[in-house]
Amino acid sequence: MTFATVLPQAIGGFLAAGGGEEGGTNIEIGHHVTREWFGFTVNIDTISSTVIAGLIVLILGFVLRSRLTKADDHVPSKLQLIWEAVVSEVNRQVEDNLGKVHPYVAPLAIALFFFILFANWLELIPSKLNDDSPHLLAAPTADTNLTYALAAVTIISVWAYGIRTKGVKGYFSHFLQPFPVLLPLNILEELVKPITLALRLFGNIFAGGIMLALIGLIPIWASWAPNILWKAFDMFIGGIQAFIFSLLTVLYFAMAGAGHGEHDDEHEEADSKTPALAH
């Protein structure tokens, strides 16, 4: 209602030529279809699209698995090539940063990449013509509940990995380096990591959804061109965000396991990527 109507009105001026539908278009942003489960509110649309994205990943994975076992001639199928490209790239990143292909970190980064990728791309499926919603399924990554959950999995794993690698004392003494004065900043940084992970992904995909909604306001005879352009770009963004999320996951693991020196460098590197991509 409130925000949903403010934004279209603000840009309504230059869209007015297209002639919005009568009675005003109603773009619902940040609105979720909710249900009450055990007295708790859940966003049922996010959950359903999460299940769809997860099922796509799992079906692709298990189809591949069933074909892998048959392949004796070592000639990979196209599906296998796609999986192998991601798996070997992640393995390489993990090996470069952690020293070995860690049996927990690499699968986590791979799972994050594929899940986020397909979750992001879900919103590209168009809805019926003249439907209010700009897409058939909202990307579940445009809901902070999902991105917070992913970031929580990542950061808790990172902390556990850091403590297991360096020991409790070794890991927590890390917060007093290089100077004990920086303790608050170091703690803050550990808390900022998951929040930036979650909100970067959310912001990008959410913004993509808003753009799709705005483009949906343009009459159909004019909207196809920006729609195609934006969806192509949105696909690119979806891939980049999935890549960044899993890459940063690996880097955070590397930071938790390594000394303080490369910590700062990699954080700057990570930060420098973010604004460039979060147009």
Partner 1 sequence: MTGAVIQLLPMAAEGEGQSNFLVPNFTFLVELAAFGLLFFLLAKYVIPPINRAMTNRQEAIRTQFAELEQARSDANAAEAEFKAQIADARHEAARIREEAREQGAQIVAELRQQGETEKARIVESGHAQISAERQQAVASLRAEVGTLATTLAGRIVGESLEDDERSTRVVDRFLADLDALESSKASSTGGAS
For residue 215, give the nearest of 228, 206, 205, 204 by alpha carbon. 228
Render 189-221 in DSSP notation, one character per residue: HHHHHHHHHHHHHHHHHHHHHHHHHHHHHS-HH
User: According to the binding rule CB under 8 A, does residue 40 interact with partner 1?
Assistant: yes
For residue 94, give the nearest of 107, 106, 84 by alpha carbon. 106
**Which residue's CB is nearer to partner 1, number 30 or number 259?**
30
User: According to the binding rule CB under 8 A, does residue 1 interact with partner 1?
Assistant: yes
User: According to the binding rule CB under 8 A, does residue 76 interact with partner 1?
Assistant: yes
DSSP state of 133: S
Q: Which of residues 239-278 bind partner 1 (CB under 8 A)?
A: none
> How much is the CA Rg of the chain, to the nearest whole Å?
22
CB of residue 140 to partner 1, shortest distance in Å: 7
Report d(CA 82, CA 118) in Å as an integer: 14
User: According to the binding rule CB under 8 A, does residue 62 interact with partner 1?
Assistant: yes
**Which residue's CB is nearer to partner 1, number 69 or number 272?**
69
User: Could you tell me the two tokens for 221?
Assistant: 């005879």
Q: Which of residues 95-124 bind partner 1 (CB under 8 A)?
A: 101, 104, 106-108, 110-111, 114-115
Report d(CA 24, CA 9) in Å as an integer: 9
Among 64, 163, 235, 240, binds partner 1 (CB under 8 A): 64
User: According to the binding rule CB under 8 A, does residue 58 interact with partner 1?
Assistant: yes
**Which residue's CB is nearer to partner 1, number 123 or number 143?**
143
CB of residue 263 to partner 1, shortest distance in Å: 26
User: According to the binding rule CB under 8 A, does residue 127 interact with partner 1?
Assistant: no
Q: Which of residues 148-187 bind partner 1 (CB under 8 A)?
A: 148-150, 152-153
Q: Where is 42: in which H helix or E strand?
A: strand 40-43
How big is the CA angle at 230 (ends 109 and 143), to the nearest 5 degrees?
A: 50
Tell me how many residues contact partner 1 (CB under 8 A): 57
Report d(CA 50, CA 40) in Å as an integer: 18
Q: Give yes or no for a contact between 44 and 33, defined as CB atoms under 8 angstroms apart.
A: yes
Residues engaged in binding partner 1 (CB under 8 A):
1-3, 6-7, 29-32, 37, 40-43, 46-47, 50-51, 54, 57-58, 61-62, 64-65, 68-69, 71, 74, 76, 80, 83-84, 87-88, 91, 101, 104, 106-108, 110-111, 114-115, 140, 143-146, 148-150, 152-153, 203, 207
